[in-house]
Chain A
Amino acid sequence: MENLGQLGQYLGAGLACVGMAGAAMGVGNVAGNYLAGALRNPSAAASQTATLFIGMAFAEALGIFSFLVALLLLFAV
């Protein structure tokens, strides 16, 4: 029974990593749209790099939560 609990722990931690796919799509979307906009209007691109990084950070935060769930399952359960 103990082994079954451990199995569930590892399975859950592995499944939590699937959430990183969402973060990957989000960050890629931010960067891709930034590039598309920057190529249309290169003169405005430099002023928007801060916004780019803020957007990436917010998109990435949700991936971090999946990492957090994996860590909690492995070490805190």
Chain B
Amino acid sequence: MAEEEAGGLVFHPMDQFVIKPLFGEGPVNWYTPTNATLWMALAALAITALLVFGTRGRAIVPNRVQSIAELLYGMVHKMVEDVTGKDGLKYFPYVMTLFCFILFANFLGLLPKSFSPTSHIAVTAVLAVLVFAGVTVLGFVKNGAHFLGLFWVSSAPLALRPVLAVIELISYFVRPVSHSIRLAGNIMAGHAVIKVFAAFAAVAAIAPVSVVAITAMYGLEVLVCLIQAYVFTILTCVYLKDALHPAH
């Protein structure tokens, strides 16, 4: 991806996504602690710090940290209740875990010199496939063969239903693909754009423009990190609703 130009501009926008072993050099095996492992562990630690130690006081009138934790909990709880209904609340802990992990991994990835695990399709694909497999199994366990009613649109004319069934089937199996690549693509593209603007800062004439552009993009990225975590979670809720109430 490196490209040397006449003006001395050097672009390495994709170098930040390279997975390296934490200690020394060498091949990356499945058990090797890497920078991805480190930042995922830091995300888990930050969540623990906020939700476990932040609410340790159990104060009636919460302090700042506790009210942030309560706000987060309340927001996800309301989202699950609004989208999936009361019977979806049983699966609230999993949705909350997903939201917290993605949000914190995204935000920690915004720190300079850090690494965002959610920019890798491998990481988001695991999250999305777990949701997909879990929701499919849940749908069959809860509804039995009625779950297939999801693909048989009973409100459509009879002649159209087989065609719609094929389309519904394709769109069902494409879910984990779009679910995972949406998150990874947004985070990866945002970070790469910031790096490209950073490379322009090497030229003195356009350096001020570059700094302003990086600041603006950074602000946008903070928003994108929150929105993508929210979108991933709300789509999980939608899929969960489809599994619990498959009727069209």
Interface, chain A (partner B; CB < 8 A): 50, 53-54, 56-57, 60-61, 64-65, 67-68
B99 to chain A, nearest CB (A): 13
- Asked if B227 is an interface residue, CB under 8 A from chain A, the answer is yes
- Asked if B126 is an interface residue, CB under 8 A from chain A, the answer is no
User: Which A residue sits closest to B235, measured CB to CB?
Assistant: A57
Other A-B pairs, 7, CB within 8 Å; known A56-B231, A57-B235: A50-B79, A53-B230, A53-B231, A54-B235, A57-B231, A64-B185, A65-B178
- Given the complex, which residues of B lie within 8 Å of A56, measured CB to CB? 231
- Given the complex, which residues of B lie within 8 Å of A65, measured CB to CB? 178
Task: Determine if B234 and A54 form an interchain contact, defined as CB atoms under 8 angstroms apart.
Answer: yes
**Contact digits for B28-43, partner A, Cβ 8 Å, 1 yes 0 no:** 0000000000000000
- Given the complex, which residues of B lie within 8 Å of A68, measured CB to CB? 177, 181
- Asked if B245 is an interface residue, CB under 8 A from chain A, the answer is no
Task: Determine if A61 and B178 form an interchain contact, defined as CB atoms under 8 angstroms apart.
Answer: yes
Interface size on B, as a range, is 10 to 19
- Asked if B83 is an interface residue, CB under 8 A from chain A, the answer is yes
- Given the complex, which residues of B lie within 8 Å of A61, measured CB to CB? 174, 178, 182
User: Which B residue sits closest to A65, measured CB to CB?
Assistant: B178
**Can you show 5 pairs from A to B with CB atoms below 8 A apart?**
A50-B79, A53-B230, A57-B235, A64-B178, A68-B177
**Roughly how many angstroms separate A56 CA and B185 CA in the complex, as a whole number?**
15
A28 to chain B, nearest CB (A): 15
A50 touching B82 in the complex, CB below 8 Å, given contacts A57-B231, A57-B235, A68-B177: yes
User: Which A residue sits closest to B237, measured CB to CB?
Assistant: A50
User: Which A residue sits closest to B238, measured CB to CB?
Assistant: A54
- Given the complex, which residues of A lie within 8 Å of B82, measured CB to CB? 50
- Given the complex, which residues of A lie within 8 Å of B83, measured CB to CB? 50
User: Which A residue sits closest to B182, measured CB to CB?
Assistant: A64
Q: Which residues from 158 to 211 on chain B have a C-beta closer than 8 Å to any C-beta of chain A?
A: 174, 177-178, 181-182, 185
